[in-house]
Chain A
Amino acid sequence: MNSIIKGAAYTLIHAPDMVVHNGTTQTTERIVNPNSDYLKALPKHLRSFDDAAIYPPNQVYIGNQHPEFLNTIGDLPWYNKLIKGASRFSKNGEIMPEEEFYLLMHAVDAFNLVMLDADFIKKYKPIFDKHPVVTAELKAKIGAGFILNDIEAEIKNNHAEGLYFNHKLIGCVKRAHDIDENLSAHVILENLVSKASSVTALLNLIKHTGISPDEVDMVLDCSEEAVGDMNQRGGGNLAKACAESCGFVNASGSDIRAFCAAPTHAIIHAAALVASGTYDNVIVAAGGSTAKLGMNGKDHVKKEMPVLEDVVGSFAVLISKNDGVSPEILSPYTGKHTVGSGSSPQAVTKALVADPLEKMGIRIVDIDKFSAEMHNPDVTKPAGAGDVPLANFKMIGALAVMRGEFDRTQIDAFTAKHGNPGWAPTQGHIPSGVPFLEFARQDILAGKIKNSMIIGKGSLFLGRMTNLFDGVSFIIQKNAGISAQNTASDIKKPKIILTGLGSEHGEQNMIEGALQASKANAADITYIGSNGDHSKAVSIVETNCEKIMHEKMDAMLNSKQADGAVTMHYSFPIGVSTIGRVITPAYGKAMYIASTTGTSSTNRAEAMVKNALNGIIVAKASGVKTPKVGILNVDGARSCEKALKDLKAAGYDIEFAGSNRSDGGCIMRGNDAMTAACDVLVCDSLTGNVLMKMFSAFTTGGNYESIGFGYGPGMASDYEKLVLILSRASGAPVVANSILFAAELVNGNYKKVLKDEYKKAEKAGLEKVLEAVVKASGAKKSTAKKAGAKEIKAPKQEVVDTDINGVEVENLDAAVEAVWAAGIYASSGMGCTGIVIQVAKANEKKARDVLIKKGFLVKE
């Protein structure tokens, strides 16, 4: 069962003095250019706490305003559009002033490394003591403080880092080791800021979700600091240190590091830990970074604006056991950028966004809101880094355009509908997707949106261990209720097309089939045909022309507007054969017939081996876990049996059926077919076609097929389109069953099954097995040419619209070449009753004459 998001808390620490003393842009400048104009100008550009607290993006971060609020306050800049009267507290967070934060740093310092001035403590402790979420235990840890002289001496003599308030020294952080630079005062200060800020978020989360501190099982820290000493520099477990400060007595912790992508990684970990039943309540948390304070300060000062990067950000998210109400995290459908994904923005977006959605069988536009790199553009745009979230949404939109989901002109409309303006402070991991989680949770609970995709991205090259990019994504969606297991089906039913023109029983028969299928509520059905008289259960695309009908069907499949189609009289390329499903008469048991139309190979024995594989794939994708395979006792059966057994011996697992007859074996006789002694009955297409008709129409006399699921989907190793074939004689019940068969295959992820099975078979040497079976059958490939024969080139290609039936399958290639030799363009294809030579109408007579003359066709 999926885990759920119980709640998320967000806090900001206003830290203007840390901007000056701890931000790396400023510390670097002090070393390189100590008398710079920038450093002189900087103090005038720092905001007061009040201005930072009522700054619109900060109010959004802590949850007092929805991101959509930013669309209503007008164009950038936003720093002059303060929300008068806004509170520093929200129901799930707060903005903490620097003085309170220094006291909290002192309270969470387990090694007496923070020294605060006694007067400072005296002045601000009474305020700190009134803090609504800081625990009494933490408040009790505040000591009496030190005299300023001692603090100054510690800085001067022992390399302590000063702590400043209103530009005055009020304390310091001492080094924790004399030599070890990993325990230097600088590192300890950064780690303590990360720890204390994480604690603010954790305490707010406890208040917000109402969970008792002793119910927390595990904390995962995903900040960007390394905690450790010289023997284990990134030793870690800041998470457990934070859990201790918050009184989570039953929790342990561990740290997850992946640059800015870490929060999304950590939530995927947490969701899996809860979904697996390992823990019931896991918190993912991160404190913020002092190094990134004022990172773009130079640009902000140059543009005469406040230095907006004056807050340390932090957050905490509670992931819990499914309560049947809160939005679920879809653990099986996470996206990940892999080592092999490639680094172009296109490859990255595909891996993070398109791949998981494809796995779910839904489109990009089916996700209501995306959240990726939600950086506040008020900060980044003046620094020349553009509008980061907007750029992300545009990339997602552009990918949707490339996938044919909508037109290029709709990208802006897409970003407006599926994105949000950015609001998060530019603290790397802090804006990385997660700031939207609580909004998404509330919007889903309120029915405003049904789902959201959270994307985290990381720039691994910064650590100089790899040039690879990184990213992961996950989807949260409306809770399907406690009993639901298959969450993907809840989000969208497979979209199946039914084409109606060409039925011997008229369109009303086809529409009746669609309406019968719609009652099962298992597919969204689109009917292509002339407008019939039917209810709104099925959507309609109108046409009176069979050719246009198939073109529309193909276009919808190619653009992924539809997942599959059920049709008649459709030409597959050579190499594709269809796998039908029938109800056998003896016990009413279903059986797959492999194959029923199409040609998987022009060599009979090779075709049967491929049919066996395709049959296994279709059976597995529609829910038969280990299909039992039998081979119909026709010409080529023994060669096929040997080939399949060779494949099994080489590692491709095939479960063979046993005949009901006393001599057993996997070769199936007539009575085995009647009783469905196997799940997949392997045969050649022509025999399969006859069987299909017999099983579908034996109660009606033949003109009306009343039983079964139709001639089934076209399958081949490289054929991903899902097209299921019906006979022109198929009656409404078969039409309905075929639509549901298509939906089953989509839900069963037939594409993945197809890929996996062929991969396994190829690993077991499929190619060699096929070569051997062709050789053993004694048949020469029809493409084999006589030695010295001239190669015949195809004449200029033209539109072929006329089928010539009657050529034997093994002569197909030679027949096409004979027509070419007469200067007529021809191609081969699969018609309703077997293979066809296709030519232009004007050339039909001439082509027929050639074929008759060369002996490929019998004169009528």
Chain B
Amino acid sequence: MDLENQKRVKEFAEKFGGENVVVVIGAAEAEAAGLAAETVTAGDPTFAGPLTGVSLGLKVFHICEEEIKSVVDAGVYDAQVGMMEMVLDVPEIAKEMNSIRSQHCKF
């Protein structure tokens, strides 16, 4: 995950409390989504950014997961995400995200 984004996630978690933060990821691949999810839960696996060794355990979802899709207006979702939803391997992404959440999510 981009170092600047790690910094912002860390600041938000400190400012609002980890229980009040949900991270929504838009990565195009299960592996990349998983890495980003791991970064905001267990800590930066690349040991490069501000979240190195910081286990925030935040709630984290991919935009294409049902949990997020179900709370977004269907028209807006279709206009903003519909095309990508067609392109991405959503089951694979959801599987990866679930795996990271079950291991590292604290909330």
Q: A344-B79, A384-B29 are in contact. Are A395 and B84 (CB under 8 A)?
A: yes
Q: Mark B45-88, 1 if CB is under 8 A from A, else 0.
A: 01110000000000000000000000000000001111110110
Q: Does chain B have a CB within 8 A of A819? A: no
User: Which chain B residues (8-44) contact chain A, with CB distance < 8 Å?
Assistant: 28-29, 31-32, 35
Q: Does chain B have a CB within 8 A of A832? A: no
Q: Which chain A residues border B31 with CB–CB below 8 Å?
A: 384, 386
A346 lies within 8 A of B83 (CB) = yes
Q: Which chain A residues border B28 with CB–CB below 8 Å?
A: 386, 391
Which of B29, B46, B86 meets A408, CB within 8 Å?
Answer: B86
Measured as residues with beta carbon below 8 angstroms from the partner, the interface class of chain B is 10 to 19
Which of A32, A391, A398 meets B86, CB within 8 Å?
Answer: A398
Q: A384-B31, A385-B29 are in contact. Are A298 and B46 (CB under 8 A)?
A: yes
Which of B32, B48, B82 meets A402, CB within 8 Å?
Answer: B82
Q: Which chain A residues border B79 with CB–CB below 8 Å?
A: 344, 346
A796 to B21, CA, bound (A): 46
Closest beta carbon of chain A to B99's beta carbon, Å: 15
Q: Mark A363-395, 1 if CB is under 8 A from B, else 0.
A: 000000000000000000000111000010011
Closest beta carbon of chain B to A71's beta carbon, Å: 21
Q: Which chain B residues border A386 with CB–CB below 8 Å?
A: 28-29, 31-32
Q: Which residue of B lies closest to A299 (CB)?
A: B46
A349 to B86, CA, bound (A): 14
Q: Which chain A residues border B46 with CB–CB below 8 Å?
A: 298
Q: Which chain A residues border B32 with CB–CB below 8 Å?
A: 384-386
| Chain B CB within 10 A, most for which of A398, A408, A411 | A398
Which of A28, A345, A385 meets B84, CB within 8 Å?
Answer: A345
Closest beta carbon of chain A to B96's beta carbon, Å: 11
Q: Which residue of A lies closest to B31 (CB)?
A: A384
Closest beta carbon of chain A to B34's beta carbon, Å: 9
Q: Which chain A residues border B83 with CB–CB below 8 Å?
A: 344-346, 349, 395, 398-399, 402
Q: Which residue of A lies closest to B84 (CB)?
A: A345
A648 to B22, CA, bound (A): 56
A384 to B28, CA, bound (A): 10
Which of B47, B48, B84, B86 meets A411, CB within 8 Å?
Answer: B86
Q: Which residue of A lies closest to B85 (CB)?
A: A398
Q: Which chain B residues border A408 with CB–CB below 8 Å?
A: 86
Q: Which chain B residues border A384 with CB–CB below 8 Å?
A: 29, 31-32, 35
A32 to B35, CA, bound (A): 21
Closest beta carbon of chain B to A428's beta carbon, Å: 15
User: Which chain A residues (306-360) contact chain B, with CB distance < 8 Å?
Assistant: 342, 344-347, 349
Q: Mark A402-421, 1 if CB is under 8 A from B, else 0.
A: 10000010010000000000
Q: Which chain A residues border B84 with CB–CB below 8 Å?
A: 344-346, 395, 398
Q: Which chain B residues border A33 with CB–CB below 8 Å?
A: 47
| Chain B CB within 10 A, most for which of A298, A394, A408 | A394
Q: Does chain B have a CB within 8 A of A401? A: yes
Q: Which residue of B lies closest to A464 (CB)?
A: B4
Which of A344, A395, A397 meets B80, CB within 8 Å?
Answer: A344
Q: Which residue of A lies closest to B36 (CB)?
A: A384
Q: Which chain A residues border B80 with CB–CB below 8 Å?
A: 342, 344, 346-347
Q: A346-B82, A385-B29 are in contact. Are A394 and B35 (CB under 8 A)?
A: no
Closest beta carbon of chain A to B46's beta carbon, Å: 7
A395 to B48, CA, bound (A): 31
Q: Which chain A residues border B47 with CB–CB below 8 Å?
A: 33
User: Which chain A residues (283-309) contact chain B, with CB distance < 8 Å?
Assistant: 298
| Chain A CB within 10 A, most for which of B31, B32, B47, B87 | B87
A384 to B83, CA, bound (A): 22
Closest beta carbon of chain A to B21's beta carbon, Å: 20
A347 to B81, CA, bound (A): 10
A384 to B84, CA, bound (A): 18
Q: Which chain B residues border A347 with CB–CB below 8 Å?
A: 80
Q: Which chain B residues border A346 with CB–CB below 8 Å?
A: 79-84
A676 to B81, CA, bound (A): 54
Q: Could you pull out 12 A-B pairs where Cβ atoms are within 8 angstroms?
A: A345-B84, A384-B29, A384-B31, A385-B29, A386-B32, A391-B28, A395-B84, A395-B87, A398-B84, A401-B86, A402-B82, A411-B86
The 3 A-B pairs at the shortest CB distance, nearest first, are namely: A346-B83, A398-B86, A344-B80
Interface contacts beyond A346-B83, A398-B86, A402-B83: sample of 11 additional A-B pairs, CB < 8 Å, sorted by A: A33-B47, A344-B81, A344-B84, A347-B80, A349-B83, A386-B32, A395-B83, A397-B87, A398-B87, A408-B86, A411-B86
